[in-house]
């Protein structure tokens, strides 16, 4: 925790230091020469050494106890597994509530505009109720609008939700202060409030893009409900893509100011969400569709038959399809599109395909 307090030293630099020194304590108490030998630049070494003298680890620990805040770090077993996989995971996570909520599967990030429209307010319960009842954990940012509604709907449907905030978790620094009541309800229902920022960190503007990478990093997929062309929700979607996670987007009216961003995401390849099943499929929670057509009744080419016979009603990823057949990758992609258009196969999310043909 003390190491993460040092300004100008981010997660990647801290990992470098911890790899060089035997322990966090040794790193914190290291001499100027040892810090420089660890790979830090001279400027970074000077900054680190100066700040380390001003930080009292014991005082920080006592402050956490006083505020009833807990902490974990990336080397602990209780650190969220999916978050460990991203490019720059926070070294330390501060939290209130039950950290096991971040270990449940699946976790779905739900983000969007603070100025949610009537359309968004109407559609969100229809989309999320079944998803929550299937035990998906909803992750969001506790902001007004889409975020707070996502948390509230989860509570109403007796689910677990995780809120990631862009401030410290100490009572006088918690942001948004107007959402403290909602945060308390989340905790009481077995949920989690989490932050990478020291407990006494104010909610500064540049904290929120950093916060967004944690929302997507905790989650298997990210659903964007409504977003303008410059919405912070698009930053979360960008992080999700960089982290190799699926992005889902709610299409909206072309003349709506909060649908420009979501429609753009769909144009750029995000999965369009037109019902709860689209979300359930992406999370692996949808029941397999029963084959509706018999193989002998269709007119299929030799290559199409080759693919159809490869996978049944359980999903098969496109990489496996390409690996297991003798066809060129470009031809496989083309055939899959044709088979989808004919209604013989279905993409159930994440480029996993199932056959709708009875073999």
Please give the Cα distance from 349 to 190 (Å, whole number): 29
- Residues 15, 19, 23, 29: what is their CA dihedral angle, to the nearest 10 degrees? -80
Please give the Cα distance from 153 to 122 (Å, whole number): 12
Q: Tell me, what's the pLDDT at 316?
A: 79
| pLDDT at residue 90 greater than cutoff 70 | yes
Picking from 91-95, 266-270, 354-358, which range would have the lowest pLDDT averaged per residue?
Answer: 354-358
Mean pLDDT of the chain: 90
- The hierarchical CATH code for the domain 293-358 is 1.10.10.10
Helix residue ranges, H only, 157-274 = 180-188, 207-217, 232-242, 260-267
Q: Produce one character per residue of 174-188: b if its CB has 16 or more CB atoms within 10 Å, e if not.
A: bbbeebeebbeebbe
Residue with tokens 């996670």: 245
For residues 70-94, average pLDDT = 92
pLDDT digits (tens, 9 = 90+) for 59-80: 989 999 999 999 998 889 999 9
- The hierarchical CATH code for the domain 94-282 is 3.40.50.450
Q: Tell me, what's the pLDDT at 314?
A: 58
pLDDT digits (tens, 9 = 90+) for 104-134: 999 999 999 999 999 999 999 999 999 999 9
Q: What is the DSSP letter of 31?
A: -
Residue 190's CB is within 10 A of a number of other CB atoms, namely 15
The percent of residues above 90 in pLDDT, for the chain, comes to: 62
CB hemisphere CA count around 253 (13 angstroms): 7
Picking from 87-96, 175-184, 285-294, which range would have the lowest pLDDT averaged per residue?
Answer: 285-294
Q: What are phi and psi of 140, to 5 degrees?
A: -155, -170
Distance from first CA to last CA of the chain, Å, rounded? Answer: 58
pLDDT digits (tens, 9 = 90+) for 13-31: 877 888 899 888 898 889 9
Asked whether this chain's domains 94-282 and 293-358 adopt the same fold, the reply is no
Residue 222, beta-bridge partner list = 109, 247
Picking from 140-149, 278-287, 350-359, which range would have the lowest pLDDT averaged per residue?
Answer: 350-359
Give the domain ranges of the chain.
Answer: 1-55, 94-282, 293-358
Q: What is the DSSP letter of 158?
A: T
For residues 33-48, average pLDDT = 90
pLDDT digits (tens, 9 = 90+) for 224-282: 999 998 889 999 999 999 999 999 999 999 999 999 999 999 999 999 999 998 999 89
| pLDDT at residue 296 greater than cutoff 80 | no
- Angle, helices 180-188 vs 146-156, to 10°: value is 30
For residues 174-186, average pLDDT = 97
């Amino acid at each position: 925790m003390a190491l993460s307090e040092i300004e100008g030293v981010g997660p990647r630099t801290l990992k470098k230091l911890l790899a060089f020194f035997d322990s966090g304590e040794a790193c914190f108490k290291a001499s100027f020469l040892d810090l420089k030998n660890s790979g830090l630049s001279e400027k970074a070494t000077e900054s680190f050494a100066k700040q380390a003298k001003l930080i009292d680890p014991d005082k920080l620990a006592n402050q956490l106890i006083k505020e009833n805040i807990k902490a974990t770090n990336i080397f602990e077993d209780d650190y969220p597994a999916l978050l460990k996989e991203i490019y720059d995971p926070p070294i330390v996570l501060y939290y209130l509530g039950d950290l096991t909520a971040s270990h449940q599967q699946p976790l779905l990030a739900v983000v969007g505009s603070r100025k949610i429209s009537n359309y968004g307010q109407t559609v969100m319960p229809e989309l999320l109720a079944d998803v929550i009842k299937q035990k998906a954990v909803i992750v969001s940012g506790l902001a007004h609008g889409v975020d707070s509604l996502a948390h509230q709907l989860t509570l109403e449907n007796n689910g677990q939700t995780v809120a990631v905030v862009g401030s410290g978790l100490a009572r006088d620094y918690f942001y948004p202060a107007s959402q403290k009541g909602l945060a308390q309800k989340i905790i009481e229902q077995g949920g989690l409030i989490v932050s990478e920022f020291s407990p006494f960190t104010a909610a500064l503007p540049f904290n929120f893009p950093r916060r967004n990478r944690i929302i997507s990093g905790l989650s298997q997929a990210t659903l964007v409900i409504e977003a303008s062309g410059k919405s912070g929700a698009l930053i979360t979607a960008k992080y999700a893509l960089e982290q190799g996670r699926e992005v889902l987007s709610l299409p909206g009216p072309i003349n709506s100011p909060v649908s420009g961003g979501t429609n753009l995401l769909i144009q750029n390849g995000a999965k369009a969400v037109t019902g709860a099943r689209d979300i359930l499929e992406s999370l692996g929670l949808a029941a397999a569709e029963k084959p509706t057509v018999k193989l002998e009744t269709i007119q299929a080419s030799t290559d199409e038959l080759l693919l159809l016979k490869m996978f049944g009603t359980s999903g098969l990823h496109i990489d496996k399809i390409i690996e297991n057949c003798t066809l060129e990758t470009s031809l496989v992609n083309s055939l899959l599109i044709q088979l989808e258009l004919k209604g013989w196969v279905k993409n159930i999310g994440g480029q996993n395909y199932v056959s709708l043909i009875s073999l």
